[in-house]
Structure 1
Amino acid sequence: MTWTAPAPPLDRDAYLRDVVLKHRVQQVGAWCGIGFVVLLFGGWGLLGNFIPMVPPSGTPEEVARIYSHHADLRRVGLLLGMVGIFLTIPFYFAISMQMRRSEPRTPVLAMLQFASGILVTVVLMIPMLLFLGGSFRPERTPELTQLVNELSYLMLILPWPPIIGQLVALSVATFADRRPRPVFPRWSAYMNLWIAVLLTPASLIVFFESGPFAWNGLLGFWIPAAVFGSWYPVMTWLVLRAAREEAEEARLLAPPAGEPVGDAARVPVAAGALR
């Protein structure tokens, strides 16, 4: 039997450095949520001039005319929106890192949240690329520009099921948290469920070209977009708070100076058992 010597055990200073590093990584991930909202709505929405929305009832000529205005500025805004969408990955990972603390064994709900979040990232990235495709050659046939525009808005607003998967997983993990000091407060679970309910009217945009259920309407876009965008700063604050509490708990568990910590400290026992 081949036996490999273990790595040297961590001392107190190395343990505390690891605690600080882990805390800072989660802080960066949490702040990525704010970066996403700013770059998506500021880049795609305002700089890209997609808010106010290109109306679904517009004629092909009207849609093509909108795309032909400030085309370069529109492309810059869409590129910024793509950068913002990438920031969702570290943000969702930071949420899962905290969720796993409430699951004593296999972090199934944390993994579900992160997997659903990856789907959200993908379904947001694809319409950004389609919007860029529509802006790349605005002089093309108006009917083609209108088709690309419709596909872009539908793919951006309609795929709410993976978002629901995130919210439900996070809510269940919060309700099931039996720690004396829960990772996330129980009111956040109710908030997540209400946001899930308020996102579902976006499904109706496939049936309406005007009115409150169209993709530029109150129930078709503005309410879902408002609750979707507000979820990120709230969760940023909650993740920052939870990560700070985790770091405080880890510091309290730090070993006395000179005493090893971690699995490496238990290796001599296992090695003795092999003899």
Structure 2
Amino acid sequence: MSNITPAQFVHHKVQLGLWACGVGFGVLFFVGLAPLSGFIPPPSPELSGAELLAKYGDNLNLVKLGIVVGLLGATLLVPWSALVAIQTARLEEGRRFPLWGIFSAMAGCVNAVAFILPFIFWAGAYYRADRSPELVQLISDMTWIEFLLFFPTFSMQLFCLAMAGLTQRQGPEVFPRWFYYLNLWMALVGSTGILAIFFFSGPFAWNGAVGFYLPVGSYVPFLLITWWQFYRAIKAEKRYYEELAAGDEPRVEPALV
């Protein structure tokens, strides 16, 4: 029979539910962007509104379905951000206020809005097949620029987790130290999209190697690693409380060090 208390067991299950929302975000977000709407690879910034309508006009219903799926996926960032904040706060054990955890929660909520907005903008652009080409081009510009310029809150959330871990004073190890440096690296790489505002073509444009494929291409493997690390952290936390409830000296999971 498990020695974990009912309250702790519910908490563990809730965290697994939040973790599943994070996985759901990644799956729905990229399914909506790529195979359904066809927004990956991104259209060239040099395309006119008429060319954009020609590119997506024959499959407007599929584009709209992709927008809905991606929107639902982006919404799942809210519960996922709650899990990130919970685990970040664990790193601040012994401190009066889990400031990094609070900052992480706030950044995560704003970040979720930033992920949601592109789909709302795209919905307006492709709602009508007879939309003015000039308006389609304007909304497309707004959407792609917003999509790549939301990095401040995205990077802030990663920065909070990294700083909480690198300055941890007491308590069990939650993540391996290299994972905190990986978060700092992703926070930096995620900012390269800001250069897209200055270019219409080439590697720095929103469809270029540096403007799009570097941050987004790095984010996919980073997300896979993050899912795995958070899953292990939740399981390790459960074992920690089981040993604590049993009166044993809680040990640090060797694989997490």
**TM-score, with normalisation over the residues of structure 2?**
0.90
Aligned-CA RMSD value: 1.8
1:45 — aligned with what? 34
Q: Is the 8 A contact 2:3 2:245 kept in 1?
A: no
Residue 125 of structure 1 pairs with residue 116 of structure 2: yes
1:24 — aligned with what? 13
Mind listing any 5+ residue stretches in structure 2 that lack a counterpart?
A: 248-257
2:206 — aligned with what? 215
Deviation at 1:45, TM superposition (A): 2.4
**Using the alignment, how far apart are the partners of 1:51 and 1:255 within structure 2?**
51
Counterpart of 2:63, as a letter, is: R
Q: 1:229 aligns with which of 212, 220, 230?
A: 220
1:190 — aligned with what? 181
Mind listing any 5+ residue stretches in structure 1 that lack a counterpart?
A: 1-11, 257-275
Poorly superposed stretches of 4+, deviation over 3 Å: 12-15, 178-181
Q: Is the 8 A contact 1:43 1:81 kept in 2?
A: yes
1:96 — aligned with what? 85
Q: 1:61 aligns with which of 43, 50, 58?
A: 50
Q: 2:156 aligns with which of 142, 158, 165?
A: 165
Deviation at 1:200, TM superposition (A): 1.9
Structure 2 vs 1, CA of residues 180 and 255 (structure 1 numbering), >3 Å: closer, same or farther? closer
Deviation at 1:248, TM superposition (A): 1.1
Residue 137 of structure 1 pairs with residue 128 of structure 2: yes
**Using the alignment, how far apart are the partners of 1:201 and 1:14 within structure 2?**
48
Structure 2 vs 1, CA of residues 255 and 190 (structure 1 numbering), >3 Å: closer, same or farther? closer
Identity rate, percent: 31
Deviation at 1:252, TM superposition (A): 1.9
Counterpart of 1:28, as a letter, is: G
Q: Is the 8 A contact 1:48 1:78 kept in 2?
A: yes
How many pairs are equivalent? 245
**Using the alignment, how far apart are the partners of 1:32 and 1:233 within structure 2?**
14
Deviation at 1:84, TM superposition (A): 0.5
Structure 2 vs 1, CA of residues 186 and 14 (structure 1 numbering), >3 Å: closer, same or farther? closer
2:139 — aligned with what? 148
Q: Is the 8 A contact 1:174 1:189 kept in 2?
A: yes
Deviation at 1:66, TM superposition (A): 1.7
Highest relative contact order (Cα 8 Å, sep 6+), 1 or 2? 1
Largest Rg, 1 or 2:
1
**Using the alignment, how far apart are the partners of 2:58 and 2:110 within structure 1?**
32
Deviation at 1:68, TM superposition (A): 1.0
Q: Is the 8 A contact 2:88 2:160 kept in 1?
A: no
Q: 1:253 aligns with which of 224, 233, 244?
A: 244
